């Protein structure tokens, strides 16, 4: 690992000032992804700004929403009684990710900021537009079994690897960002599609940091939830396809439904058109199949990952069937 300067500021302003001034500075908190990337030579920040001394760890009920500090650990959120009661979907998604040791280290903000696990991004001998803009995409014609089927370009077909983010986009969370000025953006607008700039994973600007996530209260989304993760082994593996689903049924019809998918795109993939199709309809297998078909519109395989074109709708169908029988 190339050496770097290490600083541990005691105020949030000192952190954002440092990030604003020094383009080679990067935040470190859990370090589970960044330290690995630095060991592999994929990342080489000249300065690490340790933010673990900041008071951004609380998980608390506010008026109309739950606020989770950016430094709350993945394990703390997954085991929080407040989260288990109000947003079980989030706890399920978190527990489906990584290993217990990693969940004890990784923070909420770090989970959002983690880089893709595309093997061409990690292999510094291969071209990768995300690692080195303009160098090409090794995955497009390479071994792309884990790769995206939505929103890809000829520049990048990588997927965002998070499980937590799939639940948060389904729950309409808000990202609280601090910089020169503070701002709030919908979770769905935080991560971005690769377009012509796959080196940018998200819309965070220079000199900005995530300080919290806010999830609006919604009892209907706590009644029946499932995070169905299809992967190569039963635990401790990234998703081939994952589906986060929440549903409520009133008078025999679907009164509330949320759907999002992981392992399919450069960002957490919310299935809004499928949700809109299902609202007010009966929770039947036929409707679920149609919703899954709607969700797959514009999907595209790249060879080794063509199986996802079939696995994805099947996973959606299974997830919807499960939540509808739990209501």
Partner 1 sequence: MAHHKEETGGENKTLHHTRRKFFKISSALTAVALIPSEIIKAAEDKVDEKIAEKFEQQTLTLEINGVQKTLSVEPRVTLLDMLREQLKLTGSKKGCDHGQCGACTVHVNGQRVLSCLSLALMQNGKKITTIEGLATGDELHPMQAAFIKHDGFQCGYCTPGQIMSAVACVREGHADNEEEIRAYMSGNICRCGAYPNIVEAILEAKEKGGNQI
Under the rule (CB under 8 A), what is the footprint of partner 1? Answer: 1-11, 13-14, 17-18, 21, 28, 31-32, 35-36, 38-40, 46-50, 52-53, 75, 98-102, 104-105, 234-236
In whole angstroms, how close is the CB of 74 to partner 1 at the nearest point?
12
* Nearest to partner 1 of 53, 195 (CB atom): 53
Q: In angstroms, give the least distance from the CB of 44 to partner 1.
A: 9
Q: Are 170 and 236 in contact (CB under 8 A)?
A: no
* Smallest distance from partner 1 to CB 97, Å: 11
Give the number of other CB atoms < 10 A from CB of residue 13.
10
Shortest distance in whole angstroms from residue 233 CB to partner 1: 8
Q: How far is the CB of 124 from partner 1 (least distance, A)?
A: 14
Nearer Cβ to partner 1, position 9 or 179? 9
- How would you class 254 by CB atoms within 10 Å of its CB: exposed for 0-12, middle for 13-18, buried for 19 or more? buried
Q: Which is nearer to partner 1, 6 or 143 (by Cβ)?
A: 6
Q: For 6, which DSSP code? A: E
Nearer Cβ to partner 1 (55/64): 55
**Structure-token match 């690769």, residue found:** 194
Please name the residue ranges forming H helices in 96-163.
100-103, 108-113, 119-122
- Quick one: 52 or 218, whose CB is closer to partner 1? 52
Please report how close the Cβ of residue 105 comes to partner 1 at its closest, in angstroms: 5
Distance, in Å, from the CA atom of 184 to the CA atom of 210, rounded to the nearest integer, reads 10
CA-to-CA dists, residue 105 to 55, 72, 196, angstroms: 16, 10, 33
Nearer to partner 1 by Cβ, of 40 and 250: the residue is 40
Q: State which residue, 94 or 171, has the beta carbon closest to partner 1.
A: 94
* Least CB distance to partner 1 at residue 202 (A): 22
In the chain, count H helices and then E strands: 12, 12
Secondary structure (DSSP) of 219-234: GGGTSEEEEEEE-SSS
Contact 239, 229 (CB under 8 A): yes
- Shortest distance, position 75 Cβ to partner 1, whole Å: 8
What is the rounded distance in angstroms from the CA atom of residue 81 to the CA atom of residue 88?
A: 10
CB closer to partner 1 out of 39 and 184: 39
Task: Report the candidate in 23, 25, 19, 27 with the shortest Cα–Cα distance to residue 54.
Answer: 27
Nearest to 46 by CA among 71, 68, 65, 25: 25
Contact 51, 209 (CB under 8 A): yes
């Amino acid at each position: 690992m190339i050496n770097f300067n290490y600083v541990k500021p005691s105020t949030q302003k000192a952190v954002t000032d440092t990030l604003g001034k020094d383009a080679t500075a990067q935040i470190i908190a859990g370090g589970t992804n960044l330290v690995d990337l630095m060991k592999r030579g994929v990342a080489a920040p000249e300065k690490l700004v340790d933010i673990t001394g900041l008071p951004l760890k609380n998980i608390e009920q506010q008026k109309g929403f739950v606020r989770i500090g950016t430094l709350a650990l993945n394990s703390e959120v997954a085991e929080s009684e407040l989260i288990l009661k109000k947003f079980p979907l989030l706890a399920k998604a978190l527990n489906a990710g990584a290993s217990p040791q990693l969940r004890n280290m990784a923070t909420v903000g770090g989970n959002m900021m983690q880089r893709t696990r595309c093997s061409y991004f990690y292999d510094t001998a291969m071209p990768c537009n995300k690692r080195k803009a303009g160098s090409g995409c090794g995955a497009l014609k390479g071994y792309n079994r884990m790769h995206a089927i939505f929103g890809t370009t000829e520049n990048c077909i990588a997927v965002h690897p998070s499980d937590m983010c799939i639940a948060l986009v389904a729950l309409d969370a808000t990202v609280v960002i601090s910089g020169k000025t503070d701002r709030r953006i919908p979770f769905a607008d935080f991560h971005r599609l690769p377009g012509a700039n796959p080196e940018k994973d998200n819309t965070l600007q220079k000199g900005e940091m995530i300080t919290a996530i806010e999830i609006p209260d919604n009892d209907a989304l706590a009644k029946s939830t499932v995070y169905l993760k299809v992967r190569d082994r039963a635990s401790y593996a990234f998703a081939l396809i994952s589906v986060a689903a929440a549903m409520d049924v009133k008078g025999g019809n679907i009164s509330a439904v949320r759907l999002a998918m992981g392992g399919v795109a450069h960002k957490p993939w919310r299935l809004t058109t499928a949700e809109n199709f299902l609202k007010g309809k009966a929770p039947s297998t036929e409707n679920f199949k149609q919703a899954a078909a709607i969700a797959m519109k514009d999907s595209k395989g790249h060879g080794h990952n063509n199986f996802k074109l079939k696995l994805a709708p099947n996973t959606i169908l299974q997830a919807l069937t499960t939540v509808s029988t739990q209501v």
